[in-house]
Amino acid sequence: MTEPLSFTGERFLPEREGEIWYEHWHRYALARQLSQHRSVLDVACGEGYGSAMLAENAERVTGVDISVDAIRHARSRYGHQANLEFIAASCDRLPFPDASFDLAISFETIEHIETQQAFVAELARVLRPDGVLLLSSPNKRLYSDAHDYHNEFHVRELYRDELEELLRAAFPHRFWLGQKLLFHSAIWPESGDIAATEYLVGDGGQVVAGRSPDVEPMYYMVACSRNPSMLPAALGRLSLFSDAAETVYRDYVRQTRRVLELDRLLIDRERLVAERDDWLALRTAQMEERDALLITRAEQIAERDVLLTLRTGQMEERERMIVERDTLLAQRDALLAQRAEQIAALNLELDYRASLAWWLKSPWRIAKRIISKNP
């Protein structure tokens, strides 16, 4: 088995799953019904899976792609089919004579190129006069505008009227189809063929019968021809496509379970957030209480500092008074000592005057005093 190409996001590969798988395979499954006993050109065939599907019914199929690697891969994987060939070429310069094919297929190509008018002209050139072109293109209004989306691989997407104008000159007769992956509940008879199809739509509690899906297509498919009688009548039916493995449904179930799990995680997260908020509220209250205590403590410390300052001043005043008292005491002691000396001297004098010697000398002292007054 040939190894698959690497997925770049631009070229669809049959190994991919999901919506893109349904969209691409459904287009080729529809085209397969139109290819029986016809010579078919598949432009921008890519990996080659679609060309191989068409070759199951067609007389011959030629797949064309500008990528040499894609063509090499397609030849390696599908080249064993005798009525299938792959050629590397540009879609706006097809290497085929005029009127070479009965049916041309071009799915999701036109939005990738600038030379869109030349591309359509080339498709018209290589088709026989009664040939049919089946072309698909994304609806720019829904594909990009409605979702604010930009596909980096798309050069010029088209609105419906732009695609209509582009096709009208080369193909005066066109039959439009819409394609979109939809979600439906299906009920069908367990045995026998389905005789008819009904389309029921629930709208605001009301159920109405419709003739076709009343939704805007994600992709337009256009069957084009220069001969109105060659437009396939089979395209006027509602076409449904699924896969045996129901991959999209399984993906939907997986995503639904994931959403439920995320909802549960969200509920747990909200509970944890509420618990955290309660804890933060308690913590905030504790912090506010602590701040109040700190303010009270700061006020007490300020009062204590004032008292300490006052106490320090009182202590300094007391020390000064003690120093002054000590000075006064020292002065008093000095005076007392001087007084004591004077008293002692006086006592000596008194004792001397009370003695016999003093009295014996008294006449002499009197005489000296008289003499000193009368020289």
Please check whether residues 32 and 147 belong to one and the same domain. Answer: yes
What pTM was estimated for this model as a whole? 0.68
Per-residue pLDDT, averaged over 232-253, amounts to: 80
Please check whether residues 297 and 348 belong to one and the same domain. Answer: yes
Supply the pLDDT for residue 346. 86
Please check whether residues 225 and 272 belong to one and the same domain. Answer: no
Please check whether residues 364 and 283 belong to one and the same domain. Answer: yes
With beta carbons less than 8 A apart as the criterion, state whether 69 and 46 touch: no
With beta carbons less than 8 A apart as the criterion, state whether 111 and 138 touch: yes
341 located within any domain: yes
3-state secondary structure of 216: coil
10 located within any domain: no
Please check whether residues 123 and 271 belong to one and the same domain. Answer: no
Please check whether residues 203 and 318 belong to one and the same domain. Answer: no
Please check whether residues 366 and 303 belong to one and the same domain. Answer: yes
- The torsion region of residue 46 among left (phi > 0), alpha (psi -120 to 50) and beta comes to left
Element (H, E) at 207: strand 206-210
256 located within any domain: no
Long-range contacts for 118-121 (Cβ within 8 Å, ≥24 apart)? 118/92, 119/91, 119/92, 120/166, 120/167, 120/170, 120/171, 121/170
Q: How many angstroms separate the CA atoms of 187 and 216, rounded?
A: 24
Domain count, the chain: 2
Which two three-digit tokens encode residue 204?
């605001």
Question: Is the C-alpha dihedral spanning 175, 179, 183, 187 positive or negative?
Answer: positive
Q: How many angstroms separate the CA atoms of 104 and 136, rounded?
A: 12
Judged against a pLDDT cut of 80, whether residue 352 lies above it is answered with no
Q: How many angstroms separate the CA atoms of 40 and 37, rounded?
A: 9
pLDDT digits (tens, 9 = 90+) for 275-334: 999 999 999 999 999 999 999 999 999 999 999 999 998 999 999 999 999 989 999 989
Nearest to 183 by CA among 115, 249, 109: 249
Which two three-digit tokens encode residue 10?
């631009």
Supply the pLDDT for residue 58. 96
Distances (CA, A) of 304 to 65, 85, 267, 307, 355: 94, 103, 54, 5, 74
Element (H, E) at 63: strand 60-65
Q: CB 191: neighbour CB atoms within 10 A?
A: 4
Q: Which amino acid is at 333?
A: D
Q: DSSP secondary-structure letter at 141?
A: I
Q: Which residues have C-beta within 8 Å of that of residue 227, sequence separation ≥ 6?
A: 129, 130, 173
258 located within any domain: no
Please check whether residues 235 and 301 belong to one and the same domain. Answer: no
| Residue 270 confidence class, pLDDT cut points 50, 70, 90 | very high
CATH code for the domain of 208: 3.40.50.150
Q: What angle do CA 44, 50, 52 make, to 5 degrees?
A: 115
Q: CB 20: neighbour CB atoms within 10 A?
A: 12
With beta carbons less than 8 A apart as the criterion, state whether 174 and 142 touch: no
Please check whether residues 200 and 312 belong to one and the same domain. Answer: no
Radius of gyration, CA atoms only, the chain: 58
249 located within any domain: no
Which two three-digit tokens encode residue 21?
């798988």
Judged against a pLDDT cut of 60, whether residue 1 lies above it is answered with no
pLDDT digits (tens, 9 = 90+) for 173-216: 999 999 898 888 888 888 878 877 888 888 877 888 877 788 89
Per-residue pLDDT, averaged over 39-68, amounts to: 95
Per-residue pLDDT, averaged over 137-166, amounts to: 94
Q: How many angstroms separate the CA atoms of 84 and 55, rounded?
A: 6
Per-residue pLDDT, averaged over 17-22, amounts to: 74
Residue scoring higher pLDDT (214 or 70): 70
303 located within any domain: yes
Supply the pLDDT for residue 121. 96
Please check whether residues 180 and 269 belong to one and the same domain. Answer: no
pLDDT digits (tens, 9 = 90+) for 85-138: 999 999 999 999 999 999 999 999 999 999 999 999 999 999 999 999 999 999
Please give the order of strands across the beta sheet that includes 219-225.
Answer: 84-88, 60-65, 39-43, 101-107, 127-138, 219-225, 173-179
Q: How many angstroms separate the CA atoms of 148 and 15, rounded?
A: 28
Q: Domain of 118?
A: 19-185+196-243
Please check whether residues 300 and 202 belong to one and the same domain. Answer: no
4 located within any domain: no
Please check whether residues 228 and 269 belong to one and the same domain. Answer: no
Which two three-digit tokens encode residue 89?
């070429």
Question: Which range in 172-176, 238-242, 261-265 is most confidently predicted, on average pLDDT?
Answer: 172-176
